[in-house]
Amino acid sequence: MSKGQPIQNAGNLVRPPRGLFAAILTLGLGGLAIGTGEFVSMSLLPGMAQSTNVSIPGAGAYISAYAVGVVVGAPLIAVCAARWARKVLLFALLALVIVGYVGSAIAWDRASLLTARFISGLPHGAFYGVSSLVAAAMVPANRKAQAIGYVMLGLAVANVIGVPVATWIGQVWGWRAAFFAVAIGSAFTVIMMQFFVPSVGNDAEVSPASELQGLKRPMVWLTLAVASIGFGGMFAVYSYITPTLIEVAGFSEGQVPLALAIWGVGMVFGNLVGGWLADRALVPSILGMLAWNAIFLALFSLVASSRPLTLVVLFLIGNGFALVPALQARLMNVAGRAQTLAAALNHSAFNISNAVGAILGGLAIAHGLGWAATGWVGGLLAIAGLGLMVLSTLRLTPAHASTQSRAVTEGASAED
């Protein structure tokens, strides 16, 4: 076997050089670093605003610049790097993460920080997408969604561990130190990846043109619409959770991090259970998760004045993160050979849902419906996503589904 060639066993699976656990853990750590960098910027806004001489609302553009980078970078990188071996692409993506966060840490004015935040967002979707493909290549088809869920666990754990630690670093040493910490974490992941993640090549027939062909599939667009709209409900609530907890539920400012940690624990639990359920019944699981979100997001509006009930519902809303690995697996099933593009676009869709949820939640508050009205907005968005998912199931025939499933499980033997 030549150097750099994927190690495969019977069943056309890629065998990690030092075990599946170490490989999945390494991919998850990369997701932890990227997820921490994305969410911690919200808690660093006051310092960033002061350093670049803008107002705190004006500093919100730094978050938007990151989101634009995600939406632009995911499809662009997926198409341009279609022929790249996936481990090489992961190295390149983490290198871009490091450049973006070092650039953010040394930014000297508003323009330079906006540029650095945009660069930081570019590799986000592609990294999670390609990591999901690598994870799926290492396990049998009936464990694919669970493997994806383990990779996405890094994003969920970021809200429980990564963001609090990075926020503490920012409070003690300044916001620049927090961004440097994300860059160091990404560099550590690069080192681990060299030893623990196997070489995974692409299908020999994959090209930029074949990746773009995936955009001609209505099922791809319907699934992306489910993510963009159906998941927006969670962000409608999350975007305004701090003032809601303080003004409606009566929590003190110091108690808010604990409430958010409970939400984060719910995300971790939902991520694990979601992958397990999706491997057993993918479409019914997605439908059930959307219904779950509709119920508990709406319930948030009803119980927001009760602190104990609010904490319980926040945990249950966090469980809705189960949609992430399930929709990732769904996209991989319906995208044919456009695997990298589909996997990356999933995260563009979730960033669109972030914007949709924040905008609609803000409109509800601005029109005098109150802070807790974001739950009703979230419930309606989840119902809209449920309707789109039902529509997508009506378009997918059993024969078509079988064909797409086979396309996903094809092994890759190209060299790094």
Are residues 400 and 373 both part of a single domain? yes
pLDDT band at 11; cut points 50, 70, 90: very low
Beta bridge partners of 9: 13
Asked if the structure places residue 3 within a domain, the reply is no
Mean pLDDT of the chain: 83
Asked if the structure places residue 223 within a domain, the reply is yes
Are residues 89 and 140 both part of a single domain? yes
Are residues 168 and 298 both part of a single domain? no
CB-based contacts of 139, cutoff 8 Å, min separation 6: 13, 20, 146, 147
Task: For residue range 111-155, list pLDDT tens digits in order.
Answer: 999 999 999 999 998 898 888 888 888 888 788 888 888 888 888
- Predicted confidence at residue 411, as pLDDT, reads 38
Between residues 401 and 33, the one the model is more confident about: 33
User: Beta-carbon neighbour count of residue 248 at 10 Å?
Assistant: 17
Are residues 275 and 156 both part of a single domain? no
Asked if the structure places residue 4 within a domain, the reply is no
Are residues 226 and 341 both part of a single domain? yes
- Predicted confidence at residue 199, as pLDDT, reads 84
Domain closes at, from 149, 179, 201: 201
Asked if the structure places residue 13 within a domain, the reply is no
Residue 95 exposed, middle or buried by CB count within 10 Å (0-12, 13-18, 19+): middle
Number of domains forming the structure of the chain? 2
Task: For residue range 338-377, list pLDDT tens digits in order.
Answer: 777 777 787 788 878 877 887 888 888 888 888 899 899 9
Q: In this prediction, what percent of the chain has a pLDDT beyond 90? A: 31
Instruction: State the number of CA atoms in the 13 A half-sphere of 87 facing the CB.
Output: 27
Residue 405 exposed, middle or buried by CB count within 10 Å (0-12, 13-18, 19+): middle
pLDDT at 44 > cutoff 90: no
pLDDT at 408 > cutoff 50: no
Are residues 88 and 183 both part of a single domain? yes
309: CATH: 1.20.1250.20
- Predicted confidence at residue 12, as pLDDT, reads 67
Are residues 168 and 212 both part of a single domain? no
Is residue 14 helix, strand or coil? strand
Tell me the residue range of the domain where 188 lies: 18-201
Residue-wise DSSP of 344-355? HHHHHHHHHHHH
Task: For residue range 288-331, list pLDDT tens digits in order.
Answer: 999 999 999 999 999 999 999 999 999 999 998 888 888 888 88
Between residues 412 and 208, the one the model is more confident about: 208
The C-alpha atoms of residue 134 and residue 408 are separated, in whole angstroms, by 12
Task: For residue range 234-285, list pLDDT tens digits in order.
Answer: 888 887 787 888 888 888 877 877 888 888 889 888 888 888 888 888 889 9
Contact 145, 326 (CB under 8 A): yes
Is residue 10 helix, strand or coil? coil
Are residues 125 and 208 both part of a single domain? no
CA distances in angstroms from 355 to 179, 253, 259, 360, listed in the order given = 23, 25, 23, 9
Are residues 133 and 213 both part of a single domain? no
**To 10 degrees, the CA torsion angle through 24, 25, 28, 34?**
-140
CB-based contacts of 350, cutoff 8 Å, min separation 6: 227, 228, 231, 324
- Predicted confidence at residue 10, as pLDDT, reads 37
pLDDT at 212 > cutoff 90: no
Domain closes at, from 178, 201, 224: 201
Are residues 25 and 165 both part of a single domain? yes
Domain closes at, from 201, 234, 266: 201
Are residues 152 and 271 both part of a single domain? no
Asked if the structure places residue 10 within a domain, the reply is no
- Predicted confidence at residue 59, as pLDDT, reads 79
User: Beta-carbon neighbour count of residue 254 at 10 Å?
Assistant: 7
Between residues 23 and 3, the one the model is more confident about: 23
Are residues 213 and 342 both part of a single domain? yes
Triad 114, 116, 121: Cα angle to 5°: 95
Asked if the structure places residue 2 within a domain, the reply is no
